[in-house]
Every structure is written in structure tokens, then in C-alpha cells.
Amino acid sequence: MRHSHTVQRRRTIHRSLRRLKHRIKRLATSYVSPLGWAVAALAVASLVAFVLLGWHELLAMAVVFAVMLAAAVMLSLGTPSFQATIDVSSRRVTVSDTVKVDVCVDNPSRTPTTSARGDLPIGDNHERFAIPMLAAGQSRQTTVEFTAVSRAVLPIGPLSIRKGDPFGLIRHEKKLVDQINVFIHPQTVLLSTLNAGIPRDLEGQPSGEIVDDDLDFYGLREYEPGDDVRNVHWLSSAKTGSLMIRQYEATRRTDTALTISVNPDDYIDSQEFELAVSVHASIGVQCLQQNRPVTAHAGSTHAIPRNATEFLDGCSGIDPDIDDNPNLAQTTLEHAPDASFYFFTVGRLKTIDDIKHMVLALPRSATCVVLQAATGQPRAIKRYSDFTLATVGDLNDLPMIMGVLA
């Protein structure tokens, strides 16, 4: 355990140092290129050598280098007269999907521009491309395609346009387009209707929370993207001129708490962690499609997603955290003390003793299922007195497991 903590901290320190080195390098070369620094160094060296040796040839060299730098500065002055837009094929994709980014650079001025270079950060990578001289009103479009290889909230941009002098000594950079985020959702599988947990409270005791579907009608609100169109109140929509959605008062009989362990010590490797995220995401999507109130918990992040898209956006940003509380029930109960159903997703290194200790804190009237991601292991279900333990060796095992539990 201590060895795992030490390795994780070393990796974190190594990544931080690498990022710091990269930032210092970018800062040092953001306006003066490496060649520009070399010319400046030669100018200073030539001048120092002239003072020491008195050779006029060295003074001439220092003057030439200094004139080159001065000319480069003069030629690079002025703001590049460009405008740009970024269009992404989709802001939300799934792992293995292809994303297309269209970058359009325009010259809105009445005079032609000089040639320049574009720099578009995509995550930790940079897509660089040449921008030729543009006549007045002319535009240039560049298309970048990449495959979403892993789950993430992927920042794209800001787009930078860089121009400089013909010698390549000085460069001027301007950011034209702000950063946008592309949510790469985890892979999920379609599950059958989840009925477990509903018999707890057939009377549907009001919880005071307002949701979009339940037994007790509460009121109306305006439509938001992602809402179920089946809840549209058409008569009120016709009167107000905008879509109105029915709201209901939630009952505890359908409240579901979903918690995933993000502690890397619970998992053999990153592949098993990604399996756990996909299990967590699949169950959450099914609950929300059934209009069941959901609270989602991942490390220090706690959310009440309004729809499946919002929930998957949150799953895109789930990262391992060595400081995650190993007692998942403790942190879950702080935000969802009265849920009827508790799902906990953990890795195979989470011991059965730890799981039993964790479940003891839950309300006796609640139903608890612990899903243990164990890549390559056969699927299995084992029932205990106060919880059910399901082993998920592959994401495609989940529909059958949930079908048995329902």
C-alpha cells in the first residue's frame, strides 16, 4: 500500500516538473525564437570580445547582429489582422469516435496580411499549420481530425496566430478564439429497466425534492435541452409560447445514489478503472432514462444530474485520486442519507472486509449493490445479508447481471 502511494506521488511530481519545464520554455520563446536568442548572444559576445581584444571586425559583427534584431522587432510590430472561428463536429462524443475540428481564419481588413502560423492546442498536443498571405476579405480553412482514444474533458484552443520577421528571430502571437471543451464520454451498455429498490416505499413518502417525473404533480417550468418531451405540457406551452415541462415532487422510493471509488489502490491498472467508470456510467444513464432521481459521487465531486447527458459529462472528468476516502458509504451518506438504493462501484483490490464495513453505515431499509470491476474475471453474483456483490469482468456482462438483480 505504501509503495503504491509512493509511486503515485512520484508520478505526480514528475508530471508537475515536466509541465513547469514546458511552461518556462514556452515563456522564454513566446516572443524571441531560439534563433533570436542565439543572435542576441552572438551580438553580446562580439561586443565583449571587441572590448577585450580591440578587433574592429568583432565590433562590426556586433553591429550587424544588433541591426538584424532591431529590424526583426520593427517588422514584427503590429497586431495580425486576422479573425478566426473554430467549429467542432460534436461537443460530446464517446471513446473511439472521430472528432473533426474546422478552423477558419479570415482577413477582415482592407489590406493583405503577411504569412503567419496557427497553433491550436488539443489537450496536451498542438496542431500547427501555415497561414499564407491573405488578400482583403479572403479566408483560409484548415480541418483537423483525431480519434477520441480515451475518456476525458478535452480542451481545444485557444487558437493562437503567430507572425514574425523574415529572419525568424522575433515572433508576435495573438489569441483569437477562446478554449472550448469536448466531453469524451465513457463507453456504456444498454440496460433493462431497473426495478430494484422501488418496493421500499410504495406509498411514495414526499422527499421535498422537485424532479421531472414521479407520482405527485408539483408544477411547471420551462423546457431545457435534454428534458424528456413526454413531460411537455402542451396546453400551457401553447398559452405561454414556449415549451413547459411538468414537475413532480420526488418520493424516496426511487431515489438512487451512485458512487464510484476513484482510489487507484482499489484497481489493478487503468484498464480496470475505466471498466469501473463504464459500469458506473451505464447504471446512471439507465436510472436517469427511467426518470429516477440520482445523486452521483466520485471522490470529492457530488452532483445531482438532471439528465443522462449531464451525468455523462461528469463521468468524462472522473480522475483517479489517491486521497479518496476508502469508506465510500461515509461520504455518500453526507449527500444522500435517505436513498432507497445504493450502487457502489469498486475495483477487485477492494477487500470483502472493507466492503462489509462500508455497508454497515447504510440505512437498513435501503438496498445496496456493490459492483466490483475485475477485468477478465468471470461474472458472478453473491448475496450477503445486507448487500449484493456482483463481479463484472467485462462491460458486456453488466446487462445480464442487472437483469438478474432486477
- pLDDT by residue (tens digit) across 49-60? 888 888 888 889
- Give the three cell numbers for residue 391: 463481479
pLDDT category at 166 given cuts 50, 70, 90 is: low
pLDDT of residue 239: 83
C-alpha cell read off for 306: 438532471
Q: Are 204 and 250 in contact (CB under 8 A)?
A: no
State phi, psi for 134 to the nearest 5 degrees.
-110, 130
Confidence of residue 322 (pLDDT cuts 50, 70, 90): very high
Mean pLDDT of the chain: 84
C-alpha cell at 282: 451505464
| 343/290: higher pLDDT | 343
Q: What is the pLDDT of residue 6?
A: 60
Average pLDDT for 140-152: 92
For a pLDDT cut of 90, what percent of the chain falls above it?
Answer: 47
> Mean pLDDT, to the nearest integer, of 313-320?
96
pLDDT at 8: 62
Instruction: Identify the residue with better confidence: 227 or 335.
Output: 335
Residue 24 has pLDDT above 80, yes or no: no
Right CATH for 83-185 from 2.60.120.1360, 2.60.40.10, 2.60.40.1930, 3.40.50.720: 2.60.40.10
Q: Is the pLDDT assigned to residue 206 strictly greater than 80?
A: no
Tell how far CA 50 is from the center of its chain.
Answer: 57
Q: State residue 371's pLDDT score.
A: 97
Above 50 in pLDDT, residue 199?
A: no
**Which pTM was predicted?**
0.71
Is residue 317's pLDDT more than 80? yes
Segment 60-94, tens digit of pLDDT: 998 998 888 888 777 766 545 788 999 999 999 99
> At a CB cut-off of 8 Å and minimum separation 6, what does 234 contact?
none
What CATH number should be reported for the domain whose range is 252-405? 3.40.50.410
- Residues 6 or more apart whose CB falls under 8 angstroms from that of 366 comprise 197, 200, 339, 340, 341, 342
How many CA atoms are closer than 13 Å to the CA of 154, on its beta-carbon side? 29
Provide the pLDDT for residue 133: 84
Which of 168, 158, 175, 156 is CA-nearest to residue 29? Answer: 168
Among 24, 21, 399, 383, residue whose Cα is nearest residue 188: 399
pLDDT single digits (tens) 210-259:
444 444 445 677 888 777 777 788 888 888 888 888 775 554 457 899 99
Instruction: Identify the pLDDT of residue 314.
Output: 97
